[in-house]
Each structure stands twice: as structure tokens, then as C-alpha cells.
Amino acid sequence: MKRILLLLLLAQLFICNAQSTNGDIDITVLKEANKMGDAFVSGNYEKFASYSHPTVVTMMGGKEHMVSEIKRSFGLLKEDGIKFTDASYGEPSEIILYEGQMQCTLQQMIEMETPNGTVTANSMLIAVSMDNGDSWYFIDPSGNNITTMRKVIPTLSPMLDIPVKMEPSYEEGETEED
């Protein structure tokens, strides 16, 4: 009998832990992140840029200039034999309400093929909603901590947890000798 109770307790703990932190908002954040990732991988940089935080767009000189710079940068990567093949996202952190905005973080994994193998770049994105969770903007802090990010975007919560660096993973490709 004790074993059955213990198994039921463990099953309940696993079910509770498997549920998302923020309920339906997690679904919306991930749906928006996946749309952004799909736009990125497919080369639809206009759509991709529409998911960028307005402050970042302004800093880049406006959406048109931002899209132009993204196209130029990714064109150079393509010339080097790098092709983006997938973008996926981890579960969002707990939502923080700050300055009238909903904010959280989520891990981003971008997979790219290189001439020597496959690289998966891991980073933590900041997600921000200014309309109570209906739409989301995303910010890649590029290795900066929250203190540095708040100098650029002061409306970010100091409670956001951003790891300074996340290591990529690498899978060596097959060579002609294999």
C-alpha cells in the first residue's frame, strides 16, 4: 500500500512539474517565438524584424535599415557556407510584471550547417509584451547581463535572469574519408 501511495505522489509531482509556469501565456510566447524563428530560418527578414523590440529597431536606424543590415550580415555568412536550418525555444520563465509590461526569458537554440558540421548556438532571449500578452517582442542580450541591458532598455525588469554566456554545441560533419 505504501508503494502505491508513493507512486501516486511521485506521479502527481511529475504532472505538476510538467505544467507550464504561466499557463496559456506560455503557449502564446512560444507560438510568437516560433513564428519569429521560422521567419529567420526562411530568410523572411522583414517578418523577423517585426518581432524585434521597438527600442532595438530604433537603435538600428529603423526597420528598413535593420532589415538591410540583417540581409547583408546573413549574406556574408552564406558566402562562408553557413546555412541556418532550425530555430527552437525552451519553456518561458515565470512572467514578471514590470512597468506595465509582461516580461520573461526563454532559451533559443539556432541550428546552422557549416562546411565542417552542425553548430547549435544557444542563447537566452528576453520576451516582452506591451499589450497584456497578446503579442511579444524578443531581445537577444548577446551575452550582456540585465544591468547592461537596462542601460539600453530601462523598462526591462532587474529581476530577469540572463546567463551571460551559453556555450554552443558542435556536431562534426562527415568527411569524404568516412
For the ranges 73-87, 135-149, 158-172, the lowest mean pLDDT is seen at: 158-172
Residue pair 108/87 in contact (Cβ under 8 Å)? The answer is yes
The 8-class DSSP code of residue 175 comes to: P
pTM above 0.75, yes or no: yes
For the segment 82-109, what is each residue's pLDDT rounded down to a tens digit?
A: 999 999 999 999 999 999 999 999 999 9
Domain ranges in the chain are 23-172
For the segment 135-147, what is each residue's pLDDT rounded down to a tens digit?
A: 999 999 988 999 9
Q: The domain at 23-172 falls in which architecture?
A: Roll (3.10)
Residue 64 scores a pLDDT above 80:
yes
Using CA atoms, how far residue 141 sits from 9, 126, 161, 166, in Å, is 40, 7, 11, 12
Residue 157 scores a pLDDT above 80:
yes
